[in-house]
Amino acid sequence: MESERFFIWDASTDQPIAVRFESLSESDREELESPNWAGAKFREVWLQSLDCGTSGTSASALKLVTDAGEPSGILGLLFIGVPRRAAYLKGSLLESSPKFRYRGGRPRIVRSIGRVLVARLILESERRGKHGKVQVTPIAGSEDFYTRLGFSSRRRGSGDLFCEGEIALQIVNEASNPSAQV
């Protein structure tokens, strides 16, 4: 599981678009304060991460952008949680740009941003010795996204979802393969 090369898909042409992660920086403030991010559930968290300068600490805020061309701007954001003595990487936060989210009735511009954000979390889990294991606590309405990716519940009623093993490997492979067309 070594890939740092990821792809999203142009929804109208089914062509892959190469994307990469960069550190979120003060120069991104204007975009986060723009109408493109007005509907973000965690907009204030992202702006506060700029105020706190978290990019230089053990937890890092990353932005997903295209390698070149369209679409421009921040496609998604990822805050990697501080390592804990748990078997799974947890305490992270991810969000795709409201501009690119699927909403019924509105044509999609791109797809698979969320899959790429999760794939990056899986790789970080691997780097931190957690063997690609990720635990999430989905916000209301996002449970279906995680279960479609293959996350499953471990404890009845906890709300937490888990990903590991072959499922984690599949997510990373699909997000890093320009022929996958998921």
Running along the chain, 182 residues long, what does each successive block of 10 average in pLDDT?
Answer: 80 93 92 93 90 54 90 93 81 92 77 96 92 92 93 82 94 91 64
pTM above 0.75, yes or no: yes
Burial class of residue 132 (count of CB atoms within 10 Å of its CB; 0-12, 13-18, 19+): buried
Look up residue 148 and give its amino acid.
Answer: R
Calpha distance 181→60 (Å, rounded): 29
Predicted local confidence at residue 3, as pLDDT: 56
Quick one: DSSP state of residue 68? S
- Match domain 6-176 to its CATH number in 2.40.160.100, 3.40.1160.10, 3.40.630.30, 1.10.10.10: 3.40.630.30
Predicted local confidence at residue 170, as pLDDT: 95
Predicted local confidence at residue 182, as pLDDT: 63
Backbone angles phi, psi at 81, to 5 degrees: -65, 160
